[in-house]
């Protein structure tokens, strides 16, 4: 069984999906989560003068302690420009990333009609660009854009473009189905032909416009591809990219490739939901392996069969990928990773402990109301410690009020008033803000800073709102996810209500309480040491 590396492009290809726009903090948060999953390469984006977020990403990502290799993405030099003088190639070098991934043209149509150059100059552009980057960076991956369409149009020329990259020193040559229309039988025929003609390690990058991206990716790996590229949840332009959450278990569980550890494989469902939450999109419950419905059984023959013999209606054990069997008729849906999370928080409770059962029941009820804890780890930990350790409330909010005003100059004005108790001490204060949530945040911290100075270090990094059910119009429930940082750690909290202010307030209160709990736990550890 040959070694295969996993290459994730969620931060670039995934970010090009309709309705997704990742902030810098989103990208850094996702990077750490994907790194924990065991994926070998993480592509951060395309650094260039018009993309400030991607350019800044490569500066910030250096401070993260990652096991994965960070790849900077770009293109070959432009027609008529020497590779060593191309400003975009220079920016790839300046990122400090160990890996450069560049794409070049394989299809004569694109060469002559899109970038308007000659076939020979295109070969020179590919070769010189790879050669320049190889001299200045540790590793160069060449993405042969539109390769399969190019091969079908002119196989000899398409293969010549691969030789140009190979001769330039490319560490991997990736065959890309950029239009996504390739069928698996075509993939197999073309891949096997290329394999006979190219000595460099080959990889695969599929788009999903014909619904075959995962099948074709797996076929290529089984026929010798040593790198497979894709995104989490198959996010990407148009119909998306090959879904790594499908490819990884297909290859690891069913074809015995050793891609990631078993423990990392068991976090795949959690990773899938986490990425959906950070991207502020509703998780696709019907995704293979990781979707909520993947191991869901309704009343009747299916449910009866799986109760008797689980593999009668399930192709794998759901816990291999961190998912859970769900009998819809008996309402046994629960949180698939609750017990694993308790273990990660160093709780030593037995599974039969009634407090653990109470926690599971509480979380189940909250999730039925719209809560989702995959990207709100802080809210979950607060609930767990409150129930399992009798964690005391650090402060009590007696009440709050928010006033919204539209002034004569057309600008909106928000003011929040809050009453807070800390023990027997009472604080009543007000603050303005850029919107009601910002006003509440300012007022709350203003009231609490006298009691808890460390809260001044907390900053709200991101704020997301999702309507959970639009059938009730303006009375629909919303879920608010807040990401916070104190400059050392980053955490997520969640609130759900039919009132967006109340949902925001719940998440905001959790954020500050989590900071105080974290400080208390650190102090306890120091005291014990």
Numbers of helices and strands, H then E, in the chain: 18, 16
Q: Is the pLDDT of residue 115 over 80?
A: yes
Range with the poorest average pLDDT among 16-20, 88-92, 257-261, 375-379? 375-379
pLDDT for position 453:
92
Range with the poorest average pLDDT among 77-81, 210-214, 350-354? 350-354
pLDDT for position 358:
84
Helices (H), 284-421: 301-308, 338-344, 354-368, 377-388
pLDDT for position 523:
65
Alpha-carbon dihedral sign for residues 288, 290, 291, 295: positive
Of residues 311 and 268, more confidently modeled: 268
Residue 179: Cβ-neighbour burial (10 angstroms; 0-12, 13-18, 19+):
middle
Note the pTM of the prediction, 2 decimals: 0.76
Distance CA 506, CA 281 (A): 21
392-440: pLDDT as tens digits:
888 989 889 999 887 777 777 899 999 998 888 888 999 998 888 889 9
471-498: pLDDT as tens digits:
566 668 999 999 888 878 889 999 999 9
Q: From 466, 452, 328, select the one nearest 394 (Cα to Cα).
A: 452
Contact at 8 Å (CB) between 322 and 266? yes
At residue 128 the predicted structure's pLDDT band, cuts being 50, 70 and 90, is very high
Rounded-to-5 percentages of helix, strand, coil across the chain: 45, 20, 35
pLDDT for position 328:
46
pLDDT for position 326:
64
pLDDT for position 314:
85
pLDDT for position 69:
98
Of residues 137 and 328, more confidently modeled: 137
Contact at 8 Å (CB) between 162 and 107? no
- In the predicted model, what is the mean pLDDT of the chain? 90
146-195: pLDDT as tens digits:
999 999 999 999 999 999 999 999 999 999 999 999 999 999 999 999 99
Percent of the chain at pLDDT exceeding 70: 91
Tell me the three-class secondary structure of 266-278, residue by residue.
CCHHHHHHHHHHH
Identify the H or E element spanning 485: strand 478-485
- Show contacts of 387-394: CB within 8 Å, 24+ apart: 387/355, 387/358, 387/359, 387/362, 388/342, 388/347, 388/349, 388/355, 388/356, 388/359, 391/517, 393/513, 394/422, 394/452, 394/513, 394/516, 394/517
Q: Which residue ranges form the domains of the chain, and what is each CATH number?
A: 5-260 (3.20.20.70), 343-394+454-529 (3.30.160.340), 398-451 (3.30.160)
pLDDT for position 471:
58
């Amino acid at each position: 069984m040959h070694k295969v590396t996993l290459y994730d492009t969620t931060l670039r290809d995934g970010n090009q999906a309709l309705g997704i726009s990742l902030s810098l903090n989103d990208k850094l948060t996702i990077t750490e989560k994907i790194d924990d999953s065991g994926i070998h390469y993480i592509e951060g984006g395309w650094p260039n003068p018009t993309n400030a977020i991607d350019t800044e990403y490569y500066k910030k990502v250096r401070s993260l302690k990652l096991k994965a290799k960070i790849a900077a993405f770009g293109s070959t030099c432009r027609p008529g420009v020497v590779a060593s003088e191309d400003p975009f190639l220079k920016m790839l070098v300046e990122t400090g990333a160990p890996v450069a991934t560049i794409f070049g043209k394989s299809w004569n149509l694109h060469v002559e009609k899109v970038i308007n150059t000659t076939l020979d100059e295109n070969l020179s552009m590919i070769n010189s660009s790879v050669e320049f980057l190889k001299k200045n960076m540790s590793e160069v991956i060449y993405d042969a854009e539109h390769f399969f369409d190019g091969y079908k149009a002119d196989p000899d020329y398409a293969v010549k473009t691969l030789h140009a990259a190979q001769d330039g020193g490319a560490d991997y040559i990736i065959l890309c189905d950029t239009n996504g229309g390739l069928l698996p039988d075509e993939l197999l025929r073309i891949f096997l032909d290329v394999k006979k003609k190219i000595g460099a390690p080959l990889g695969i990058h599929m788009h999903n416009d014909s619904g075959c991206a995962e099948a074709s990716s797996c076929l290529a790996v089984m026929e010798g591809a040593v790198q497979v590229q894709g995104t989490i949840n198959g996010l990407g332009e148009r119909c998306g990219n090959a879904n790594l959450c499908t490819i990884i278990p297909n290859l690891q569980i069913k074809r015995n490739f050793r891609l990631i550890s078993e423990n990392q494989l068991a976090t795949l469902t959690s990773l899938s939901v986490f990425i959906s939450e950070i991207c502020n999109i509703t998780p696709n419950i019907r995704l293979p392996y990781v979707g909520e419905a993947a191991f869901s059984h309704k009343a009747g023959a299916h449910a009866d069969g799986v109760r008797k013999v689980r593999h009668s209606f399930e192709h794998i054990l759901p816990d291999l990928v961190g998912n859970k069997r769900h009998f819809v008729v008996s309402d046994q849906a629960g949180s698939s990773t609750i017990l694993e999370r308790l273990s990660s928080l160093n709780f030593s409770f037995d599974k039969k402990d009634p407090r653990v059962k109470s926690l599971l029941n509480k979380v189940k009820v909250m999730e039925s109301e719209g809560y989702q804890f995959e990207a709100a780890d802080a809210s979950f930990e607060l609930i767990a410690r409150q129930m399992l350790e009798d964690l005391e409330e650090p402060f009590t909010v007696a009440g709050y009020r928010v006033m919204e005003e539209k002034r004569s100059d057309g600008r909106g004005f928000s003011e929040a008033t809050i009453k807070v108790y800390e023990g027997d001490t009472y604080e009543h204060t007000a603050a303005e803000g850029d919107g009601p949530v910002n006003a509440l945040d300012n007022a709350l911290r203003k009231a609490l800073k006298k009691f808890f100075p460390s809260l001044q270090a907390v900053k709200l990094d991101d704020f997301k709102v999702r309507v959970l059910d639009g059938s009730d119009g303006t009375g629909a429930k919303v879920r608010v996810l807040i990401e916070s940082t104190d400059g050392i750690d980053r955490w997520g909290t969640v609130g759900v209500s039919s009132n967006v202010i109340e949902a925001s307030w719940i998440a905001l209160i959790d954020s500050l309480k989590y900071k105080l709990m974290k400080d208390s736990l650190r102090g306890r550890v120091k005291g014990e040491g």
